[in-house]
Amino acid sequence: MTRFEAAALRVVCFFAETRYPPTRAEVIAYADTGAESGLLTQHEVADAIQCLIDRSLLLERGGRVTLASVPEAFSIHEARAGWFPRKWRRAQRIARYLLRISSVRFVALCNTTALAHARDESDLDFFLITRAGTVWQTRGFAMTPFALLGRRPVAGEEVPDAVCFSFFVDETALDLSTIAFEQDDPYLRYWFLSLLPLVDDGVGADFWRANATLRTRHPLAPPWISVNEPSRPRVRLPLFSGLDGLAMRMEQACFPKALRDLMNVDSRVRATPSMFKAHVQDGRAAARDAYARFCRSYDLDP
């Protein structure tokens, strides 16, 4: 197998566990050089994809590809993509509300929703970048109206399109290597690359540059482009960095026990003045193991 074929196949192997069939363009953009970084060209990766299809290692349908061992990925994605227009409209409405908070600099959909591959019952997962010293005030104002309307996630229940604000950083904490696994963190790499920005005042370019290490294995990955960004309201709610410590203490006092027990123990739950990440059920280790299994089934180093 050539290194170009390996770079393309790693991408499809990563998405195989969630039964997401990436487009040819996504495979080229996310092409993964592996542990030994190297130069790639789009033409070389495109040719490699076709070679993998010709050798029956990959299947193709409608411009999307999947491993020959998971042909059901096509029908699963087709069904899930039907929910995306509704989820997209609701995400845009939420972004318009978030823009009323002056500290909000960047808002992106993430996880399977960003790939139009979320289940009907799935949450709307958001990642936000705020101005320095305003993470906790921003979180409070962001989540309060949705909590009052019963649109927040509920433990043990599935609420379609529940609004999940589980990851905030401020503009001083853009480098996500602080939460990456020591060896490799494929989930974090692909999560970062597949963000779908709704709001970006320019800090997105700084965020992209700050995570050059995270992108080392993906030399062809292009920066994100904000899609249909809503206009900014003339009047925005002002926040003050001097009050964020109080907001942090008040919000942490309301955390459920499961969240408090894991707070700053490892990278699953981070609660600091510049970051809030609340993933009690963090699937990154499981995703890494599944990715490795798929790669090794093709005698491919993850």
Kindly state the percentage of the chain with pLDDT values over 90.
Answer: 83
Closest among 60, 27, 59, 21 to 44, alpha carbons compared: 27
Closest among 142, 72, 84 to 118, alpha carbons compared: 84
pLDDT at residue 226 greater than cutoff 80: no
Given this model, what pLDDT does residue 159 score? 82
Given this model, what pLDDT does residue 71 score? 97
Give me the domains of the chain, ranges plus CATH numbers. 3-80 (1.10.10.10), 83-282 (no CATH)
- Mean residue pLDDT across the chain: 94
Q: What is the mean pLDDT of residues 110-136?
A: 96
Find out whether 284 and 181 touch, Cβ atoms under 8 Å. Answer: yes
CA distances from 96 to 1, 89, 234 (A): 48, 11, 12
Sign (positive/negative) of CA torsion 155, 159, 165, 166? positive
What is the rounded distance in angstroms from the CA atom of residue 259 to the CA atom of residue 93? Answer: 28
Q: Which amino acid is at 146?
A: F
Given this model, what pLDDT does residue 250 score? 95
What is the rounded distance in angstroms from the CA atom of residue 269 to the CA atom of residue 278? Answer: 5
Given this model, what pLDDT does residue 169 score? 98
pLDDT band at 235 (very low <50, low <70, confident <90, very high): confident
Helix H or strand E segment including 170? strand 163-170
What is the rounded distance in angstroms from the CA atom of residue 124 to the CA atom of residue 118? Answer: 9
Given this model, what pLDDT does residue 283 score? 87
Given this model, what pLDDT does residue 23 score? 98
Estimate to the nearest angstrom the gap between the alpha carbon of 282 and the chain centroid.
13
**DSSP symbol at 235:** S
- pTM of the prediction? 0.94
Q: What is the pLDDT of residues 180-209, one digit of tens each?
A: 998 899 999 999 999 999 999 999 999 999
- What is the total residue count of the chain? 302
Burial per residue of 21-60, b for 16 or more beta-carbon CB atoms within 10 angstroms, e otherwise? bbebebbbbbbbbbeeeeebeeebbbebbebbeeeebbbe
Given this model, what pLDDT does residue 282 score? 83
